[in-house]
């Protein structure tokens, strides 16, 4: 079961640049390729606020 509904993914957009966002590989966030920011998904609810965005991990230092 996907973490969020596909129709929801279709309507979600980055609050900063309004580009469409994509589900991260881990399925726990939504990534804006333009801003290089990941918005977390908490309890199945995407946190689509500008201040919720976290800079995309640029390297391997952000180990799980």
Binding site for Zn ion (CB under 5 A): 14, 16-17, 19, 32, 34-35
CB of 1 to Zn ion, least distance (A): 27
Q: How many CB atoms lie within 10 A of CB 36?
A: 12
CB of 8 to Zn ion, least distance (A): 17
For Zn ion, which is the closer residue by CB, 17 or 45?
A: 17
CB of 35 to Zn ion, least distance (A): 3
């Amino acid at each position: 079961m996907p973490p969020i509904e596909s129709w929801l993914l279709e309507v979600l957009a980055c609050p900063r640049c309004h580009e469409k966002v994509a589900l991260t590989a881990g399925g726990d966030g939504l990534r804006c390729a333009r801003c290089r920011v990941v918005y977390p998904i908490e309890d199945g609810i995407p946190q689509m606020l500008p201040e919720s965005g976290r800079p995309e991990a640029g390297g391997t230092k952000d180990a799980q």
